[in-house]
Amino acid sequence: MKKIVLILLTFLQTLFAANLNEKRPFQPVILYGSQVPEFLNVPTDEIFIYRYSATGNEWSMIPFQIDERVKMQDPYFPSRDARHFYAIQNTSTEYDYAFTDTLPNLDIDDELVFLIGDAGDQAPDDSWIDDADAKTHDRVELILTDPLDTSVKAYVYVFRSSTLSMPDEVANKYQMAFDPETQTVSTKVYSLGMSDATGLVKDIAITPPFGSGVDIFDTQKIRFNGFISLGGIIGLPIGREGSNSATENYLYVYPNTQYLSYNENPVVRVIREARHSVQLFGTPFDQFGFYVKTFFYPYSGTIEGGARLDSLNDELNPNEDYYVELDMLRQSWDYNQQAVGMKFYNAYNDGILIDGMPDNIDPTVHIPIQEWSMVSGDQGTFYNLVHFEETNWESAELYYWDSADGGQADSAVVVGEDTGDRVSYGDNGITLREHTEHSSLSLELGFTAYFLEKNASQATGIELTSWVLNPVKLNRRVVTEVKDQPENAPRDFRLNQNYPNPFNGVTRIEFSLPHRAFATVTIYNAIGKKVKTLYSAPAAAGSHHISWDGSDQSGQYVASGVYFYKLETPEFKTMKKMLYLR
């Protein structure tokens, strides 16, 4: 009881920390260009993010990056819908993906990235950075708020200037790097290697002073039993009828020369995207290819991507009977002997010693899966939260196996030898059993990991989980330093016809104000229902332009049809019609 009280006290002390940048220092913030409409169509090399310190009335530039995205047809799968690619380095020798943004200025799909820990205090409206060009443009105040306690906030400020640049000491603060040859990501806190055969994690080391710098990891593993029909009477039993269970070796990653994209010179985020497939009889199914994106930040990382297996028939040949049945699916994080002495934590197990000796554990897991686990010791702290939205399984349980003799905790259902180093030290993950017949089936991935300081407690895992499941709220406010109206300010309010019109990608909407005013631009459907607010903020005198890509407030694309866009100020309102063709 005393231990539970101490854990809750530690958690509550963190929960009610005074400043958000102190409470969630390791968490990244990712916002789209559409969330800072004042900077749309501004050259990205003229956009900078600053923090303000009330203690000394000081401004300082913070590490950040702007990642450009482009929407284009995938040459590997031309029949599929166009999708977003990051405009970054590509190693393919088969296809010229032309990962360049045809509009190099900030657009609604581009992403601005920074860390909460680099945010600061709220600045007085009359305090400004020491840059003459910045004072000729409005700045945007971004207000970060903890949804669990709205009194906890932090602030950053977005400026525009053609005379600024990011100093090397700011750009290199976190020492972000990616080596495409070894598939290794490194920061000042951790180093992580990924397998060029399976695309899964194979090395984790948390560097001093956060950890000891030793590689504690064996490999990330996947196991499943079931049946894959290849059409007609041809089929492949897996883990049935004496056949071996599938392992991570069934996954296939295309070589760098065929597909690998990544960003060069990262500041706060490494982006890596690889093309995967399922490999049977030593041959990958090209038609069933899918992409996995990994995003690495100074203290954390996320993995997303995968494929819905119930679409296999459509992807291969609609005239044949392709399908997948699964009886069991297990994903686990397997550690090596260097992890001895660390402790395992999750919501139901507090500090199980990793020593190569079997343990009694609480296997409780809930569906849908949002389960966290953590190992911590002198070697450092590795936390992960697995997201698995699939609900068509009859049961789920914690997988845990700590045995220097190797083997597997579920050897009664997993047929075949273990892989990796064939020993087990605190291996843990999730096992799903008995998938509902004829229901949808997904192998879409979703992991969030943190690499933090050594010798953490269960309270750390609780805190990190609250971060991930309750992202910060973002509000914005425009502040101006410009005192006089521009000489060429429009003489009246104006809303121009969108261009292009009709459109099926992105359309541009222009409006003009004769003086500074609070302006709102809203999209409505044909029956007058509000679809999306594109802009709602003070705007300076002059011409402004924003874009709409056909998405609603939740990010879902609307149906083809007639839509209306409306400009409103305290003194003026008008509306125009446009046609969206999806």
List, as one string, the DSSP characters of 563-579: EEEEEE-SS-EEEEEEE
- Cβ–Cβ < 8 Å for 181, 293: no
- Alpha carbon 302 to its chain centroid, in Å, reads 6
Block residue for tokens 């296997």 = 363
Which of 116-120, 280-284, 343-347 bottoms out in mean pLDDT, i.e. has the lowest? Answer: 280-284
Judged against a pLDDT cut of 70, whether residue 404 lies above it is answered with yes
| pLDDT in the model for residue 85 | 82
| pLDDT in the model for residue 443 | 58
Judged against a pLDDT cut of 50, whether residue 262 lies above it is answered with yes
| pLDDT in the model for residue 18 | 63
Q: Which two tokens stand for residue 88?
A: 């970054």
Q: Can you give the length of the chain in residues?
A: 582
- Per-residue pLDDT band for 116 (boundaries 50, 70, 90) equals very high
Judged against a pLDDT cut of 60, whether residue 490 lies above it is answered with yes
- Cβ–Cβ < 8 Å for 293, 304: yes
Q: Which residue has the higher pLDDT, 400 or 571?
A: 400
> What value does the mean pLDDT take over residues 50-78?
89
| pLDDT in the model for residue 313 | 45
Percent of the chain, pLDDT > 70?
A: 88
- Per-residue pLDDT band for 72 (boundaries 50, 70, 90) equals confident
State residue 320 phi and psi, 5-degree precision.
Answer: -110, 165
> What value does the mean pLDDT take over residues 420-449?
81
Residue type present at position 530: K
Pairing of strands 28-32, 111-115: antiparallel
Report whether CATH 2.60.40.4070 matches the domain 494-580. Answer: yes
Q: Which two tokens stand for residue 273?
A: 């995207």
| pLDDT in the model for residue 323 | 67
Task: Pinpoint the alpha helices (H) of 131-270.
Answer: 168-171
- Cβ–Cβ < 8 Å for 349, 426: no
- Per-residue pLDDT band for 257 (boundaries 50, 70, 90) equals confident
Q: Which residue has the higher pLDDT, 17 or 244?
A: 244
The residues near 126 (Cβ < 8 Å, ≥ 6 apart) are: none
- Per-residue pLDDT band for 529 (boundaries 50, 70, 90) equals very high
177-452 and 494-580 share one fold: no
The residues near 308 (Cβ < 8 Å, ≥ 6 apart) are: 440, 441, 442, 443, 444
Report whether CATH 2.70.98 matches the domain 177-452. Answer: yes
| pLDDT in the model for residue 487 | 53
Query: In whole numbers, what is the pLDDT of the chain averaged over residues?
Result: 86
- Per-residue pLDDT band for 164 (boundaries 50, 70, 90) equals very high
Nearest CA among 344, 59, 383, 447 for reference residue 189: 383
* Count of beta carbons in the 10 Å neighbourhood of residue 122: 14
Domain ranges of the chain: 2-68+104-172+472-479, 177-452, 494-580
Judged against a pLDDT cut of 80, whether residue 100 lies above it is answered with no
Which of 126-130, 413-417, 514-518 bottoms out in mean pLDDT, i.e. has the lowest? Answer: 514-518
382 has which bridge partners? 375, 451
Which of 40-54, 146-160, 164-178, 272-286 bottoms out in mean pLDDT, i.e. has the lowest? Answer: 272-286
> What value does the mean pLDDT take over residues 84-107?
75
* Count of beta carbons in the 10 Å neighbourhood of residue 173: 17
Judged against a pLDDT cut of 60, whether residue 14 lies above it is answered with no
> What value does the mean pLDDT take over residues 417-438?
87
pTM of the shown model: 0.80
Q: Is residue 183 left, alpha or beta, with left meaning phi > 0 and alpha meaning psi from -120 to 50?
A: left
> What value does the mean pLDDT take over residues 427-438?
83
